[in-house]
Amino acid sequence: MKFSGLVYLATAVLALPDVSNPVPQNVLQPVQYRVAFAGKQDAAVVSWNTYGKPGYQPTVYYGTDKNQLNSKSTGDSNTYDTSTTWNHHVRIEGLESDRVYYYRVGGAPESEIYNFKTARKAGNTKEFTFAAAIDLGVMGPYGLSTKVGNGASNPLAPGEQNTMDSLLQNIDNFDFLLHPGDLAYADYWLKEELEGYIDTGVNTRDTDTLFKNGVQTYEALLNTYYQQMQHITSFKPYMVGPGNHESNCDNGGTSGYTVQTCFEGQRNFTGIINHFRMPDSESGGVGPFWYSFDYGLVHFVNFNTETDLGKYGPGPDSVGGSDNMDSGEFGEDGEQIAWLKNDLKNVDRSKTPWVIAMGHRPWYVAAKKKHRCLECQAAFEKTFNKYGVDLVLLGHRHLYNRIHPIDDKGNIDPNGLNNPKAPWYIVNGAAGHYDGLDTAKKTDEPWLAYWQDTQYGWSKFTVHNATHLTHSFVVSSDNSLLDTQTLYKSRGQAITKRQVKKDKTSAANALSIGRFVIVAFFLAFFF
């Protein structure tokens, strides 16, 4: 099925649920569909939610013909104390790579049929495009909107389209969506209420009273976000990572509520852990925190800037960290860093010459020093440099920065984007966020190649081949492209090695066949 972005745009606008009552009439109605790559190219994960507890094992019916969904897989369900929904996850295996599959989820009532395309095998040389949106959040009246609250610095202009709209309009133009952190911004619920963005019907400005009803408001915002995203994520694999707003309990710094007073579902990445299944077990990683997967000519690595920084920590959200969120740790001491080194060391660059790493907090960014994650830099930069990571994608600050390729000693690569040795950093946290964009600071840094802080947008990457990759900032309001740049990397050695190996194998095969013919000839002659 070919789907039109415009049709789904209309659906998305109409589908925005009432934040005070986002529950469908039938609580077993599947909502919040999302698909994800499952590490291997013959597998995928289909997930969805229901507001009620289903009396059946979650099941996905699927096939390559939408009229014959003859295959089925079953999975598991989970929830947690303060959640208003159940998460269902089904892993499907035995799929063909780079192929469209149609699916519906089982149970009552039966769902509509959606489709997604499986990942390409590592080494597939076909050009492809992927999207990245970081720091996104709820759109519409309860999130990023044209309504200006106190402190909102860059609201949308009336009638201006937002990042979700833009992604929907471009949905036929990218294969999957990356989102390393700050997904729904549901933790801003109290600040949004006090600023007049949300009216939950509780007629008070008393924060303690509002706080008592906070669970419902938080969950409503979270569910609204996932439901809005369904129009993208039911079709396009959605690969996520952790940001501070999956863990924050301070409600945007409104009122001094802390991890000690916050409810369970808002703390310690509880929502993201339960809501998603990333390919962690397939890549030796941990949950949505650190994992990797291959797609065509690229090895993708998701790393966690929030916790688990080992000896370089504590991570910003860990106990004693700069944001002091009492979150994590999710692995043994130093496990993430050791995993990252091992993962990068074992990349077969003859198959996946490109290595792209995604995380949340930047260290090269046009912001005051306190907003640069120096502990993240200490933990990751040397490893990225050592193992020749081509591109590092980050967000967190709500603006767009393109950084010159730069090594771990602070040297700007003299080659620029023309075959640099050092990684190229892109910081794009300008996707949404109800409270506006951040004003760029310290813009005289020599490593800052380009910045803008007035337009919402997302990142579009096209991997043309083993040597050329193009990135553009897509302006959400009109889908125009800003700051299009192409990175060139010479792959001489890796490609040559692969070719030599291939040639050697062919030569060896030819030699074997030759030997067989000669032996057969002599046997026939003498006997």
Chain residues binding Fe ion by CB under 5 A are 182, 243-244, 396
- Which is closer to Fe ion, CB of 5 or CB of 316? 316
Task: Reduce the DSSP state of residue 97 to 3 states and report it.
Answer: coil
Amino acid at 183: L
- Which is closer to Fe ion, CB of 171 or CB of 183? 183
- Which is closer to Fe ion, CB of 244 or CB of 327? 244
- Which is closer to Fe ion, CB of 231 or CB of 396? 396
Tell me phi and psi for residue 379, to 5 degrees.
-75, -35
- Which is closer to Fe ion, CB of 182 or CB of 343? 182
Tell me the closest approach of the beta carbon of residue 306 to Fe ion, in angstroms: 9
Query: What Cα–Cα distance (Å) separates residue 132 from each residue in 319, 448, 471?
Result: 30, 21, 10
- Which is closer to Fe ion, CB of 244 or CB of 350? 244
245 in Cβ contact with 309 (< 8 Å):
no
Helices (H) and strands (E) in the chain, counts: 10, 21
Alpha-carbon gap, residue 422 to 414, rounded angstroms:
10
Query: Which residue's Cβ lies closest to Fe ion?
Result: 396
- Which is closer to Fe ion, CB of 182 or CB of 438? 182
Burial pattern 451-484, b for ≥16 Cβ within 10 A else e, equals bbbebbbbbbbbbbebbebebbbbbbbebeeebe
Tell me the closest approach of the beta carbon of residue 245 to Fe ion, in angstroms: 6
Tell me the closest approach of the beta carbon of residue 435 to Fe ion, in angstroms: 12
DSSP state of 175: S
Tell me the closest approach of the beta carbon of residue 280 to Fe ion, in angstroms: 21
DSSP state of 517: H
**DSSP labels for 465-514?**
SSSEEEEEEEETTT--EEEEEEEE---HHHHHHHHHHHHHHHHHHHHHHH
- Which is closer to Fe ion, CB of 168 or CB of 221? 221
Tell me the closest approach of the beta carbon of residue 119 to Fe ion, in angstroms: 27
Tell me the closest approach of the beta carbon of residue 201 to Fe ion, in angstroms: 30
Query: What Cα–Cα distance (Å) separates residue 39 from each residue in 71, 120, 154?
Result: 20, 11, 38
Tell me the closest approach of the beta carbon of residue 276 to Fe ion, in angstroms: 17
Alpha-carbon gap, residue 321 to 248, rounded angstroms:
13
Tell me the closest approach of the beta carbon of residue 153 to Fe ion, in angstroms: 16
